[in-house]
Amino acid sequence: MGRGQRAKGKASGRPNGVEKAGVALTAMGVLVAIVALFVGSGSDHGGDGSTATNANGAGGLVALDVQVHDRSPFDGGRAYVEVTLHNMGARLIVIDGAQVEVQRVYRLRRCASQGDIVLSQSYGLVLPVDARQGEKVEMSLHQQVGPDEADRFRLGLSTKLPESDQTSLYLFEIKIDLQNDGPQPDLPLGSVAVGLPELPPPGEYYWDSSTHDIVHNLVLTNPDYAQYLRRVAMPCWRENTAALRGVVMKSEVVSENLNQLVESVVQPAGEELE
C-alpha cells in the first residue's frame, strides 16, 4: 500500500504539567473567542445565529503535477501517467481507484514497412483499441495520503492489438479521475494523450525531415515502388499527420517525447517521391 511523504515535520516529546495547563488555558481562550464570534455573526445576520459552511473548508487532495511518459520505439519500458498529489486536509485520504474515460482513439496505420516492430506485453490498465467515445475503464488503486503529505505514483497503461492488425499503433485521448474518500471523491486529472503500445517511428508512420532520403533510396533500387507510395503510403502519411497534430492540440497533458515527435512532423508531399 503506497504512502505519501510528509511535507512538514512535527515536534517530538511529551508535554509536562505546566505545558498541559498552558494548553488548557489557551483552548479555553479560543473557545470564548469562537463563542463571541458566533454571537456577533448571528446579530449581523438578523439574530438567527445561522452561519454558512464552506464545503471545501476541510481541505482535500490537490493535483500538483500530472505527467505522461510514452514508450518510445525500441527503448522498452512502459507507458505511464505519473501523478503528484498533496493532501491539504487534516485527515488521511484513501485513494482506491481511478476511472479512465476514453474520449478519442486515433489509429495510426503503418504506411511503409521497413521491418517488423517488436510489441510489448500488457501493463496495469489495458485500454481497448475499439473503445467507444465516453467508454469508462476502472483501475483499482491502493494509495493513502496522510494529512499535509505529498504522494507520487504511476498508472501503467497499455493496449492489446487485434490479431488481424499487429502493425497499427494507437493514440488515446483519455480523461482520468482519481476516486478517493476525500471532500472531492472524483479528483479530475485532466485530458491526457498517450501512444500505445508505443510511439510511432518516422518513415513507417509519419513523414519527417529524414523520410525524403529514405524514400528516395527505396525508389532508386525499385522504381515501381514510387507508384505504391503515391497510391497507398501518401494518403496514410497524411492521415497520421492530422491525427498526431490533432491529439496534441486537444489534450492538456502530453509527454515531451510526443511533443517533440509532432514538432518534427512534416506535411508529406507527393513530388518528393521523385
- List the pLDDT tens digit at each of the 274 positions of the chain: 555 544 443 333 434 443 333 433 333 333 333 323 333 333 333 333 322 223 444 578 999 888 888 877 656 667 888 888 999 888 889 888 889 988 989 888 887 654 442 222 222 588 999 999 999 998 888 888 888 888 888 888 888 888 888 889 999 999 999 999 998 899 999 999 999 998 998 888 998 888 878 777 777 777 777 888 888 888 999 999 999 999 999 999 999 999 999 999 988 876 656 5
Tell me what pLDDT residue 121 has: 25
User: Computed from CA positions of residues 9, 10, 11, 12, in that sequence, does the dihedral angle turn out positive or negative?
Assistant: negative
Tell me what pLDDT residue 255 has: 92
Tell me what pLDDT residue 124 has: 56
Closest to 155 (Cα-Cα) out of 171, 169, 174: 174
In this structure, what C-alpha cell is assigned to residue 56? 471545501
Q: Are 78 and 152 in contact (CB under 8 A)?
A: no
Tell me what pLDDT residue 170 has: 94
Distance in angstroms (rounded) separating the CA atoms of residues 257 and 263: 10
Q: Are 33 and 39 in contact (CB under 8 A)?
A: no
HSE at residue 7, side-chain half, CA atoms within 13 A, is 16
Tell me the CATH architecture of domain 63-273: Sandwich (2.60)
Closest to 36 (Cα-Cα) out of 44, 22, 52: 44
In this structure, what C-alpha cell is assigned to residue 140? 483499482
For cell 504512502, name the residue. Answer: 3
Between strands 93-108 and 169-180, the pairing is antiparallel
Break the chain into its structural domains and give their ranges. 63-273
Q: Are 124 and 156 in contact (CB under 8 A)?
A: yes
